[in-house]
C-alpha cells in the first residue's frame, strides 16, 4: 500500500495501450500466418513461439500493473509467482511429452 494515495491513471492507460497493441499483433499474425513463420521453427513453429512470448508479456502487464504485484513486498510476490511458474512448467512439460509419446505410439495404428 506504498502508493496508497497517488494516482496512476496515466500509467494504466499506457499499459492498456500496450496490451491492446499486442493483441492486435497476435490477431493479425494469426490471420495472415506468414509462411516463413508458420511452417518452420524449433519444436513448434516460430509463430507459436511469438504467440507464447507475447502472451507471457501480456500476463506480466496484467499481473504487475493491474493486479499491482509490483507494489507488493518482494517475497509476497515471489510466493505467488514462483509457485505458479514452477508447478505450471512442471505439469506442462510432463503432459506435453506424454502427449507426444501417445501420438508416436497410436498414430501408426490409425488408417487414414
d(CA 47, CA 70): 30
d(CA 15, CA 9): 10
Task: Give yes or no for a contact between 90 and 22, defined as CB atoms under 8 angstroms apart.
Answer: no
Binding residues for another protein (CB under 8 A): 1, 3-9, 12-13, 16, 19-20, 23-24, 26-27, 30-31, 38-39, 44, 48, 51-52, 54-55, 58-59, 62-63, 65-68, 72-73, 75-76, 79-80, 83-84, 87-88, 91-92, 95-96, 98-100, 102-103, 106-107, 111-112
Closer of 42 and 112 to another protein (Cβ): 112
Task: Give yes or no for a contact between 30 and 50, defined as CB atoms under 8 angstroms apart.
Answer: no
Closer of 39 and 42 to another protein (Cβ): 39
Amino acid at each position: 500500500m506504498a502508493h496508497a494515495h497517488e494516482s496512476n491513471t496515466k500509467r494504466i492507460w499506457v499499459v492498456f495501450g500496450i496490451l491492446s497493441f499486442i493483441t492486435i499483433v497476435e490477431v493479425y499474425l494469426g490471420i495472415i500466418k506468414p509462411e516463413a513463420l508458420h511452417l518452420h521453427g524449433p519444436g513448434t513453429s516460430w509463430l507459436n513461439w511469438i504467440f507464447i512470448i507475447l502472451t507471457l508479456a501480456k500476463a506480466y502487464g496484467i499481473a504487475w500493473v493491474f493486479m499491482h504485484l509490483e507494489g507488493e513486498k518482494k517475497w509476497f510476490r515471489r510466493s505467488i509467482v514462483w509457485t505458479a511458474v514452477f508447478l505450471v512448467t512442471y505439469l506442462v512439460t510432463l503432459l506435453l511429452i506424454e502427449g507426444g509419446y501417445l501420438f508416436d505410439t497410436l498414430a501408426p495404428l490409425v488408417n487414414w
